[in-house]
Amino acid sequence: MTFTHLGEQWLDHWMEENTRISWVLDPEPWMLEENMFKSVSLPLNLKGNEHVFKNTLSTLRKEAIHQARMLEIANESGLKRTKFSIV
């Protein structure tokens, strides 16, 4: 599933304003991920996460997917997404 062009642009803008990215090289990245889930609160990640919000978020996502499938497909022929920059 994807957002409409306007929805994607809104999400791009939100990510530009609210997210950061970094990386490390690790021979066992799955262990790093497991340890991160144990030590950092990441409520929007469902896999491997036991945050108290996990069940609520999972239910909300399932409901949103169901509602989205009931809507008509948007006709966006000729529209283009604008690019955003990563800081």
The answer to whether the beta carbons of residues 87 and 16 sit under 8 Å apart is: yes
Model confidence, pTM: 0.54
The token pair at 60 is 């909300």
Q: Cβ(19)–Cβ(11) under 8 Å? A: no
Q: Are 50 and 42 in contact (CB under 8 A)?
A: no
- 81 near 9, Cβ under 8 Å? yes
* 8-63 residue pLDDT tens: 888 888 888 998 888 889 999 999 888 887 887 777 777 777 778 888 999 999 99
